[in-house]
């Protein structure tokens, strides 16, 4: 029988994890790491690690500020939440799920590199390290593995193994969850792929998709989101053209969707940690290889421009009505990057708010899904309740949270100044345009 790195049969580590004799550590307890920790804890002994002390204290009280996991699930999970590095020594199986953001259009690997160093300081012979963080092809093998060897003093393959299994979660999505999204698994060798696949099969019912090598897995994760970025950019550009032609974009898309092979993308503000970020990672790698990507680059430019485009249209409407921007009160509904999700990373709405404030407008923001403290700390924006909104000149609906979808025009009427023209900026088309116009609204949408 084939021998593994532990000196037993090749499934020995998996068996030890299944029998709770070996522990799993998840490093990074955000939108990816926390659900992963909770899921594994139903079948194994799990340590959830994060450097954010405040986050750990909240989780120890059963509080998830992202609102992805309920208090009951956290408290009953049995996960040991900690920011103490020494506890990592108790584990053999490490999953790194930390952010990989972009700074000034360039990949910022500091979180994954710091996590790599920390894990390396605490691994022992026989350990397996799995990376879930999104990176460009080559990062795992060309940067992380050498760093693991330097910091640990151990050798890959003979002393420890490395796998790459990209996260594919969709924050705020109650349908496509960890257990029903097929898991891509790659590894430093076939043995690693087999062990890691067996471990993930404990929690992923949709099954495992094993790929040939780590670079294939890294690239596949990137293009999942680059494809969406490019397609949304196309819809945004079409929206700009149709608006100039005074043609309703929504009506055009409704008509086009009657063809079976029409791709169902819509215009909008592109934010979040994936779609608005992964294109930069792929472009970085392309340029490193001597190729200047054109379509991906232009798509990013279009999507980055959309917040400015929205503001310009608001200014045009005000100008047509002889209203000055520094004399109006604007209320923005939704600050998160997508509906029914508290994630504010790379949200374009915050840029719209700041741009309007810089023009002199009074701007209030309503969002019952976002964490008020997080919004204040990141953007210096105070959140307001729906019930407090009054005397507005313009309402901007930027994120279709389910609570906002319950509002009708009669509800909105109460929020405007009396005897003034009501301007409604409906970015995602939440309200009926015909009804709004019939009720005297000045209405605009992408």
The rounded distance, in Å, linking the Cα atoms of 195 and 138 is 22
Sheet holding 441-444: strands in order across?
Answer: 383-384, 362-366, 329-333, 394-397, 422-426, 441-444
**DSSP string over 141-167:** IIIIHHHHHHHH---BTTTEEEEE---
Sheet holding 23-27: strands in order across?
Answer: 80-82, 46-49, 23-27, 91-96, 127-131, 160-164, 183-187, 208-210
Which of the residues 96, 119, 219, 274 is marked catalytic? 274
> Is residue 274 annotated as part of the catalytic site, yes or no?
yes
Dihedral sign for Cα 121, 122, 124, 128, please: negative
Gyration radius (Cα) of the chain, Å: 24
Angle between helices 214-244 and 249-256 (to 10 degrees): 120
**DSSP string over 193-236:** HHHHHHHHTTT-TT-EEE-SSHHHHHHHHHHHHHHHHHHHHHHH
Q: CA angle at residue 436 from 430 to 438, to 5 degrees? A: 155
Dihedral sign for Cα 121, 122, 126, 128, please: negative
Dihedral sign for Cα 325, 331, 335, 338, please: negative
Q: What is the DSSP letter of 272?
A: T
The rounded distance, in Å, linking the Cα atoms of 442 and 378 is 32
Neighbours of 192 (CB within 10 A): 26
CB 134 within 8 A of CB 29: no
The rounded distance, in Å, linking the Cα atoms of 94 and 82 is 14
Known catalytic residues are 274
């Amino acid at each position: 029988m084939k021998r593994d790195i532990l000196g037993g049969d090749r499934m020995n580590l998996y068996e030890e994890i299944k029998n709770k004799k070996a522990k799993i550590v998840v490093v990074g307890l955000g939108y990816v790491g926390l659900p992963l920790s909770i899921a594994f804890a139903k079948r194994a002994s799990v340590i959830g690690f994060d450097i954010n002390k405040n986050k750990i204290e909240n989780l120890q009280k059963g509080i998830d500020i992202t609102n992805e996991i309920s208090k009951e699930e956290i408290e009953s999970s049995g996960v040991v939440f900690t920011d103490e590095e020494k506890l990592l020594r108790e584990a053999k199986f490490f999953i790194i799920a930390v952010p990989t953001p972009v700074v000034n259009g360039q990949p910022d690997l500091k979180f994954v590199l710091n996590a790599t160093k920390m894990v390396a300081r605490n691994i022992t012979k026989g350990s397996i390290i799995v990376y879930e963080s999104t990176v460009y092809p080559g990062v795992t093998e060309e940067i992380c593995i050498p760093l693991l060897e330097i910091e640990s003093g151990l050798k890959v393959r003979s002393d420890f193994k490395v796998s790459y299994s990209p996260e594919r979660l969709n924050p705020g999505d109650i349908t496509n969850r960890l257990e029903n999204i097929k898991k891509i698994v790659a590894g430093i060798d076939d043995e690693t792929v087999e062990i890691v696949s067996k471990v993930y099969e404990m929690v992923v019912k949709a099954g495992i998709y094993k790929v040939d090598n780590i670079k294939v897995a890294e690239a596949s994760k990137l293009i999942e989101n680059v494809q969406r970025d490019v397609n949304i950019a196309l819809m945004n550009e079409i929206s700009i053209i149709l608006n100039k032609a005074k043609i309703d974009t929504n009506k055009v898309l409704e008509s086009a969707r009657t063809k079976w092979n029409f791709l169902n993308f819509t215009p909008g503000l592109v934010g979040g940690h994936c779609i608005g970020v992964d294109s930069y990672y792929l472009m970085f790698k392309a340029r490193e290889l001597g190729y200047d990507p054109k379509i991906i680059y232009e798509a990013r430019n279009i999507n980055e421009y959309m917040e400015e485009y929205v503001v310009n249209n608001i200014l045009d409407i005000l100008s047509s009505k002889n209203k000055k921007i520094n004399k109006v009160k604007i209320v923005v509904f939704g600050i998160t990057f997508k509906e029914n999700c508290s994630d504010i990373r790379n949200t374009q709405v915050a840029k719209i708010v700041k741009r309007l404030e810089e023009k002199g407008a009074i701007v209030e923001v309503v969002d019952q899904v976002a964490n008020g403290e997080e919004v204040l700390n990141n953007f210096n924006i105070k959140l307001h309740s729906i019930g407090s909104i009054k005397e507005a000149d313009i309402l901007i609906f930027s994120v279709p949270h389910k609570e906002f979808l319950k509002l009708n025009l009669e509800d909105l009427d109460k929020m405007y100044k009396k005897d003034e023209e009501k301007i409604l900026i409906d970015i995602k088309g939440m309200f009926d345009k015909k009804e709004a116009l019939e009720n005297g609204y000045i209405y605009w949408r992408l």
